[in-house]
Structures are given as C-alpha cells and as structure tokens.
C-alpha cells in the first residue's frame, strides 16, 4: 500500500470525529460517476458533491453511506451556476456512524431512516414464513423454461427394444 493511502487510513482510524464550522453529515443518495455523488443534508435538500481523488482507491462508498461534507462555499457555488455545491472531507465507517447516532451531532432525519432500516432487518415470524411458502405457488408467473444454452449429456445406453430382440433369437 502506498504511503499516502496508508497515512489517510491511519488518520481516519486514529482521529475522533469532530465537525468543524462549515462541515455537516450527509447521506449518499446516488453515485453519478466521475468523482460526483449526490448527497442529502439534514434538511432533506439534495446536492452534488465532489468525491476527491485521494479517496478513490482507499474508501468505497455506496448508496446509503454517510459522509462528512465541507460546504463552506455552497452558496457561492450555487449563485455562480456551478452544479457541484460541496466536497467530501471524510467517509464515515459503520463504527463511527453508531457512535454518532448516540451523540447530539447526528441529524434527526437520519435517525428515522436508521430505525426503518433496522425494522427491515428483523426476521419474520413462523406464521409469516408459512404465508410466504404457501404463496410461492400462487405467484401467477409462468413456469421456468429449460436452459437451452447447455449441451445435454450423451446417452450411453440405448433404450431401443430392437437391439434386445435380436439377442434373444
């Protein structure tokens, strides 16, 4: 691993998270490509953010991830007509998100989404499992067709009766 990436990861792991004056926590809504991501802030406003090249091969983000964004020049960028309003300064890991959820810095809009996500992860009860299994036959879909992309194995033994009749005579 290169020294730059190693130092970047070490700084993230060692340093505790404290938000600066113009930083805020945002959730990734979509990945636009070419170092651009769409993020949603605590007010529910969506904007484009630049994902710096120094994070490219060190941190991966996906939809639903949380990032710390520097939005100091947000108003100036929007007034000048730029679509990119802010820049990602840190990617939050799972442990950091769990610690922040308990603190006062965590936005309330994200607390409800985490609670809804945890409800989805609960296992269904046995009655719900029975309903799911019984409804599989009634899904209204046609039966699956045979896969014609594979060669069928050759038959080694012939089932013809003509060969066995000549042996009996």
Give the CA distances from residue 3 to residues 9, 15, 54, 58, in Å, rounded to whole numbers and listed in that order: 10, 18, 12, 12
What is the Cα–Cα distance from 1 to 138, expressed in whole angstroms? 54
pLDDT at 38 over 90: yes
CATH architecture of 21-113: Beta Barrel (2.40)
Mean pLDDT value across residues 140-147 = 73
Q: Which residue has the higher pLDDT, 96 or 164?
A: 96
Tell me the mean pLDDT in the region 40-55: 88
Residue showing tokens 């949380």: 66
Q: What's the full length of the chain, in residues?
A: 169
**CA angle, residues 92, 97, 98, in degrees to nearest 5:** 155
Q: What is the pLDDT of residues 54-87, one digit of tens each?
A: 887 777 888 999 998 988 877 888 788 888 889 9
pTM listed for this prediction: 0.59
Q: What percent of the chain is modeled with pLDDT above 70?
A: 64
Locate the domains of the chain by residue range: 21-113
Output the CA torsion sign for 110, 116, 117, 122.
Answer: positive
């Amino acid at each position: 691993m290169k020294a730059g990436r190693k130092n970047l990861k070490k700084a993230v792991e060692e340093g505790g998270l404290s938000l600066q004056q113009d930083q805020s926590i945002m959730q990734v809504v979509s990945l636009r490509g070419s170092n651009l991501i769409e993020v949603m802030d605590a007010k529910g406003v969506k904007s484009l953010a630049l994902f710096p090249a120094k994070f490219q091969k060190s941190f991966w983000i996906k939809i639903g991830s949380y990032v710390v964004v520097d939005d100091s020049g947000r108003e100036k960028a929007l007034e000048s007509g730029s679509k990119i309003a802010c820049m990602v300064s840190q990617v939050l890991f799972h442990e950091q998100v769990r610690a922040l959820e308990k603190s006062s810095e965590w936005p309330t809009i994200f607390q409800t989404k985490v609670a809804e996500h945890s409800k989805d992860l609960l296992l269904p009860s046995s009655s719900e499992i029975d309903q799911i299994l019984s409804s599989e036959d009634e899904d209204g879909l046609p039966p699956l067709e045979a896969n014609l992309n594979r060669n069928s194995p050759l038959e080694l033994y012939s089932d013809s009766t003509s060969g066995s009749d000549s042996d009996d005579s």
